[in-house]
Structure 1
Amino acid sequence: MHPENHLALHHVRAAELRAEADAYRLAAAARLPRRPRRPRRPRDLRTRLGWALVEVGLRLAAAPKAAAASA
């Protein structure tokens, strides 16, 4: 491709991107402000029990094999 053509296409694309960014900024400024997030509720019993079981499983999987061999 000829360098002048390449440069012209680059300038056109850059102008399109700038226009798109300006439109996005205007739309973002016109949007309603976001509601504040509600505070996270504490983890329920089911979630805590699940993670405790995962932790126990990982500890059992990583247990040293020497203790099992001597028994």
Structure 2
Amino acid sequence: MQHPETHLALHHARAADLHAQAEAHRLATAARPDRDLRIRLGWTLVELGLRLATPRSTALAH
């Protein structure tokens, strides 16, 4: 059986840890470049690569 003071101390330590993790996540998210732009650029490069890798239908006919 835990004493109320021990339980309260553990609660405060856990709460401080969660606040620190939330702040670290917030700072990491704010420092990250715009994800939407990166995603659009990535899919554009994938589409370009697929177009370059796929033979043209006119080349198949000759």
Give the TM-score taking structure 2 as reference length.
Answer: 0.55
Aligned residues with identical type, % of pairs: 63
Give the TM-score taking structure 1 as reference length.
Answer: 0.49
Which runs of 5 or more structure 1 residues have no equivalent in the other structure?
39-71
- One-letter amino acid of the structure 2 residue matched with residue 6 of structure 1: H
Structure 2 matches for 1:15-30, cutoff 5 A? Answer: 15-30=16-31
Which runs of 5 or more structure 2 residues have no equivalent in the other structure?
41-62
CA RMSD in angstroms, aligned pairs only: 1.4
Aligned residues: 38
Give 1 or 2: higher helix fraction.
2
Consecutive aligned runs of 4 or more in structure 1 exceeding 4 Å deviation: none
> Which one has the largest radius of gyration?
1
